[in-house]
Homo-oligomer: A and B are copies of this chain.
């Protein structure tokens, strides 16, 4: 059961509501976000919801069967939109392209990429400065210094920044320089990190764990929301299955499924999802047709020299093509196919 509390609800009324919830055998979890106040109530008893719904201070009350209730579409039918400012809005009405290198490498690389993205009218740039690497001996990113360079050039050109955060202590460090915090697949169940990201007022792009079920994925999003942050983007990036010809197995089934289960925007990362440059464009277009609201594309001026993930990175020529086709198909979908996908 999810209860939306009125803005002007008094402490007295709130206490009355809380008691009423406990009386019917539910445990209320208070959730305060930037603009809203909820009580996420966990329990299984049956009772007449009007007995609670009519109490003063309640804006709305919903029976939500999904255990991940805050992120469920059962109470919020409208898609969540995320406004990054300066007219950059993530929503199902305009397909979002995020592009950039796997790792931020140096200022020249940032400048070239920013310039290319500006020319291409791409409004959000990705780039890692803290890199989760399987081996401790691999390149682990430039750190905050790299992020400052990244930010300087993006900021000067009206481009928003998304970058991966790996641990709680980095949130504060990164905060001034990013527009979206990214949680990587290996941290998708790093619950302390999710808790803390729930307390910031910037959006979080949450990648699906490589072996997370849909339910676990939504639970991770619920962690963020229940700590107070409603601005969450889900991102399918491939699961671990038996096939080894490609890096991961992109699970596009997840896209229409998540779109129906949750009100949150759903992105796709085809670069990691297949891990082979030649097929990234096809999989980006496929994910769009499956219903994705946006894609993350790894691009680099010279992928063969990239510090990481070069084999799955598009060069600028390939990226130009991919952007053009994705935008074209977005138009076609809207004009010709209607709401069906």
Binding site for B on A (CB under 8 A): 27, 29, 40, 42, 67-68, 132-137, 166-169, 186-187, 189-193, 195, 210-211, 213-216, 219, 222-223, 226-227, 239-246, 249-257, 260, 273-274, 276, 278-279, 281-283, 285-291, 321, 325, 328-329, 332, 336-337, 340-341
Contact = CB atoms under 8 A, between A and B. Distances in A.
A246 B132 CA distance: 26
A45 to B, nearest CB: 16
A341 B256 contact: no
Contact of A289 (B242, B244, B276, B285): B285
Contact of A239 (B191, B249, B254, B291): B249
Contacts of A223: 136
A329 B341 CA distance: 12
8 contacts: A29-B137, A167-B168, A167-B193, A241-B251, A256-B279, A283-B290, A285-B341, A325-B336
B213 A210 contact: no
B250 A246 contact: no
Total identical chains? 4
Nearest to A336: B328
Contact of A190 (B190, B274, B281, B283): B190
Nearest to A196: B167
Given A211-B242, A285-B337, 6 more contacts: A134-B219, A213-B244, A214-B243, A239-B243, A244-B244, A250-B252
Nearest to A251: B249
Contacts of A329: 289, 332, 337
A242 B239 CA distance: 9
A286 B250 CA distance: 12
A283 to B, nearest CB: 6
A233 to B, nearest CB: 18
Nearest to A292: B286
Given A256-B279, A341-B285, A191 B166 contact: yes
A67 B274 contact: no
A247 B57 CA distance: 43
Given A282-B341, A285-B341, A332-B329, A191 B132 contact: yes
Given A213-B242, A242-B241, A289-B289, A253 B250 contact: yes
